[in-house]
Amino acid sequence: QYFLKRIADLDPQLNSYITVSEQQALQQAAAADALIQSGQGSSLAGIPIAHKDLFCTQGTLTTCGSKMLNNFIPPYESTVTSRIQQAGAVMLGKTNMDEFAMGSSNENSFYGAVKNPWNTDTVPGGSSGGSAAAIAAGLAIAATGTDTGGSIRQPASFCGITGLKPTYGRVSRFGMIAYASSLDQGGPMAKSAEDCAHLLQAMAGFDEKDSTSSETATEDYIGNLNAPLTGLKIGLPKEYFGDGLDPKIADTIMAAVKEFEALGATVKEVSLPNLKLSIPSYYVIAPSEASSNLSRFDGVRFGHRCDDPKDLLDMYMRTRAEGFGEEVQKRIMVGTYALSEGYYDAYYLKAQKIRRLIKDDFTSALSEVDVIMGPVAPTTAFNIGSKTNDPVAMYLEDIYTLSVNLAGIPAMSVPAGFVDGMPVGLQIMGNYFAEAKLLNIAHQYQ
C-alpha cells in the first residue's frame, strides 16, 4: 500500500511505470503475509518489485514500450517473473522502457519519456530507464531489467542505483520479448548489491525452455557477499580512460579504485585494444538480429493491426508502419540491409569476426586480473532532447558497455559518487559466471 501510494503521488512526474497492477499487488501481498506468518517465506516474500515491460506476465499488459503491443496480454509467464513470483515477491507493475529495448535514454518509448528523479530535465538512461527511475525514486524496492548493450548498467549509473548484467545464459530468456537474441540478458536492479544478490538468487539457473540457458551450477550469491577482498587483482583498461570521457567521471572512478586498494586490492593497467570497434560491430549485429526477431509483428497473430487492410501486403506494411516507432524502423532497415544477399559477408560476418576479437581481448585481460573496472558511460545523465537528433552521439554513450555483451561476460554498475549533482556508476566486469564475485566486490565497497 505504501508503494502504491508513492507511485500514485510521484509517478505522474516521472512516468516510470506503464502499468500499475494495484489489485493483483494487494492480493499477492496478502498471500505473502500468509506465507511469512507460516514461517515459509523466502527472502523475497512480500518484497514489492517492478518488472521491465518486456517480460511477459500472464494476464498483465506487456507492451515492450511499443504501440505494436499496446493491446498484448500474454497468455504465459516469463521464466524470470515466474521464479520471482514463486519466491513470494509482489509485482507492483510494469516499467517504462525504450521501444523494444532500443535506446540509451528512454526517450524512444511510445508511452513517453521517463524522467530522471535526480533532475527531471535529464534522462534516466535506457533502455531499462523506467526500472532505474522507479528504484531511485523509491517507487519499488527492486526491479528487473535487461541488458543487450548496457541497458541495465547505464540507467543504473544515471540514476545512482546498482544493476547487474549476468553472464549470457545465466538467466533464462524465455518470455523476454527478443531484441538481439545473442546479446539479450535479464538481470537485477536495486539500491544495493545485496538486494541484487537476493533477486539474482531467484532469477538465475538453467531453464529447459531457453536453448541458450547455461547448465553451469548457480552459486550462493548471498552467502558470498562478505568474503574479504584481500589480494583482489583489478585491471584498468587504458582505452577506457582516453578521449571522450568526462574528466570528472575519470576522477570519481579513480577515487573508487583507491578505496579498493585500501580494502586490500592491487591495481594494474590492462588493454582492451578493440574497444572502439564495439560500437560499429554491435550496431550491425543487434539491428540484424532485431530485424529478424521483429518480423513476427505482422498484425496477424498478436498486437496492433491496421484498420481495413486492402490485402495481406497492405496489412503487413501499414501495421508495421503504424506500430513501430522511428528508432525501431531505422534498426529494422539497417538490419535487413546488413543481412541481405551480397552484403552479409561485408557486414554481419565481419561484425561477428570483430566480436571474436573483442571476446579474446577480455579473455586475455582477465587472465592477468580478477576483474576489470572502469566507467559505465562517458557522461552523467544528459538533458532530455539533447541527443535525439544526433544518433552517433547517442550510440557513443554505449562505448563502455557494449563490448561486455559482445563477449557475453557479466558486469555491474555500482554507485561511485556524483559529478555536478548527478550520479556516476563504477563498472565492474568479471569472467564468465563470476556473478558471486562481482556482487561480493560491490557489497564490500558499499
Binding site for ligand GLN (CB under 6 A): 101-104, 127, 147-151, 179, 286, 398
Catalytic one among 82, 127, 288, 291? 127
Q: Which is nearer to ligand GLN, 148 or 201 (CB)?
A: 148
Q: Which is nearer to ligand GLN, 42 or 352 (CB)?
A: 352
Q: Which amino acid is at 265?
A: A
The 3-state secondary structure of 280-342 reads HHHHHHHHHHHHHHHHHCCCCCCCCCCCCCCCHHHHHHHHHHHHCCHHHHHHHHHHHHHHCCC
Q: Which is nearer to ligand GLN, 150 or 235 (CB)?
A: 150
Residue nearest to ligand GLN (CB): 151
Q: Are 394 and 314 in contact (CB under 8 A)?
A: no
Nearest 5°: CA angle at 435, between 360 and 3?
A: 130
Minimum CB separation of residue 281 from ligand GLN in Å reads: 12
Q: Which is nearer to ligand GLN, 20 or 332 (CB)?
A: 332
Minimum CB separation of residue 147 from ligand GLN in Å reads: 5
Q: Are 72 and 63 in contact (CB under 8 A)?
A: yes
Q: Which amino acid is at 292?
A: S
Nearest to 3 by CA among 85, 76, 61, 89: 89
Q: Largest Cα–Cα distance in the chain?
A: 70
Minimum CB separation of residue 101 from ligand GLN in Å reads: 4
DSSP 175: T
Give the SS3 label for residue 434. coil
Q: Are 423 and 379 in contact (CB under 8 A)?
A: no
278 in catalytic set: no
Q: Which is nearer to ligand GLN, 300 or 333 (CB)?
A: 333
Nearest to 10 by CA among 109, 117, 91: 117
Sequence-ordered list of residues with C-beta below 8 angstroms from that of 362, at least 6 positions apart, any chain: 272, 372, 403, 407, 409, 429
Q: Which is nearer to ligand GLN, 151 or 274 (CB)?
A: 151
Minimum CB separation of residue 144 from ligand GLN in Å reads: 13
Q: Which is nearer to ligand GLN, 371 or 411 (CB)?
A: 411
Minimum CB separation of residue 34 from ligand GLN in Å reads: 37
Residue 163 half-sphere exposure, CB side, CA atoms within 13 Å? 37
Minimum CB separation of residue 189 from ligand GLN in Å reads: 13
Residue 250 half-sphere exposure, CB side, CA atoms within 13 Å? 12
**Alpha-carbon gap, residue 236 to 179, rounded angstroms:** 31
Residue found under cell 559505465: 376
The distance from CA 166 to its chain's CA centroid, rounded to whole angstroms, is 10
**Alpha-carbon gap, residue 419 to 244, rounded angstroms:** 16
151 in catalytic set: yes
Catalytic one among 21, 82, 151, 291? 151
Catalytic one among 21, 52, 78, 403? 52
Minimum CB separation of residue 283 from ligand GLN in Å reads: 8
288 in catalytic set: no
In Å, how far are 123, 154, 278 from 157, measured between CA atoms? 12, 5, 20
| Inter-axis angle of helices 79-86 and 193-203, nearest 10 | 110
Minimum CB separation of residue 279 from ligand GLN in Å reads: 10
Return the active site residues.
Answer: 52, 127, 151
